Amino acid sequence: MPPYLHLRVHLRIPRLRIAKRFSAAVRTWLLLTPLWWLLSQGAQAQLPVPEGLNPGDKYHLVFNSSSSTDATSADISYYNAIVQDDANTAGIGQSEGVTWKALASTSGVHARDNAVIGGTTPVYNMNLDLVATGYTDMWDGSISNSLAWNESGATNFDDAWTGSHTDGTAAIGLTLGGNVAWCGKPESSTTSPELWINRMAPPVSWTFQLYALSEELTVGPSIATLAGDYNLDGLVDAADYTVWHDTDGSTSQLVADGNSDGTINPPDYTHWKNRFGNITGSEGSVSTSTIPEPGSGILGLIALLGFAAMRRPQRNLVV
């Protein structure tokens, strides 16, 4: 073989191998990207909808943050960032396009102006109990039910920084960022209803929680219009299975309570399974062979995609 031809062959081999490896990498990416998306959805929660509301109705949610902080900062954005991060982690914030603000006052910002409540927009805690019927009811000195639930729906009875009067205005001399500040006790009280917002005023170096209010939310398509549509997107599909799986056993987050027995359990899975493939306005059904089974469907998908992504054996090139 002429020397120049031998050199040309060897120069082409690495380029051929690189191209084949690149092609295998692209195939793997195309196969695994849908899997990554599906698994990432499992980490997200769904915004709960209180009973009695209809599609198009407005409402707010409020929680007592799981994160704690001191009150030394006079910048309200610092406290807003804390509650927004908690909501994001719980899957009820950025992933759902929802902004949360702290129900707190600094010397320059009133709580009622920072976390704005609609005039007649009801406020619910994360147990879906009515807290107030709107702006005036929220700031009349008392609340209808406790705020003692965090962003994930777990009980949280810790005090929360407020720096506010009962009407939601800044309590000058007792705001966040001063020397001492008001904090509130999240449980409602008939004898001392104001305690939810101004129970005591400790040094701002102490650490407490924060109350967080959602922006105004709008109820989406009704569950009643499409049985088994647990994420309320108008289609009964694998995303609804994820909602059921992530709330299985819950007695408080009941968006996937298909049979309305007050608990997320296997019958709710069956309720979804029997309606898999339905869309709004349809009650048809499809073969259950395409429906994920509890505890095994996701693993089976991982195994299938992993097998498909394996690179084919390459022939050895001999020159």
Q: Please state, in angstroms and as integers, the Cα–Cα distance from residue 1 to each residue in 7, 11, 75, 95, 117, following that order.
A: 10, 15, 78, 63, 84
Average pLDDT estimate for 155-172: 97
In angstroms, rounded to a whole number, what is the distance separating the alpha carbons of residues 29 and 247?
30
Secondary structure (3-state) at 280: coil
pLDDT in tens, 241-264: 999 999 999 887 888 888 888 889
pLDDT for position 154: 95
We find that the CATH architecture of domain 58-218 is Roll (3.10)
Work out the pLDDT band at 62, boundaries 50, 70, 90: very high
CATH superfamily, domain at 42-49+220-286 = Dockerin domain (1.10.1330.10)
Helix axis angle, 266-273 to 238-247, nearest 10°: 170
Listed range (8-22, 88-102, 158-172) with the worst mean pLDDT: 8-22
**pTM exceeds cut of 0.85:** no
Q: Where are the domains of the chain?
A: 42-49+220-286, 58-218
How far is residue 196 CA from its own chain's centroid? 25
**Main-chain phi, psi angles of 38, to 5 degrees:** -60, -45
| CB distance 125 to 62 below 8 Å | yes
**Residue 55 · residue 222 · CB < 8 Å:** yes
- The CA distances from residue 16 to 1, 23, 311, 313, in Å, are 21, 11, 15, 15
Residue predicted with more confidence, 178 or 311:
178
Distances (CA, A) of 233 to 223, 236, 253, 278, 279: 10, 8, 18, 11, 9
**Rounded distance between C-alpha atoms, residue 200 and residue 182, angstroms:** 6
Say which DSSP state 194 is in. Answer: G
Mean pLDDT of 143-147: 95
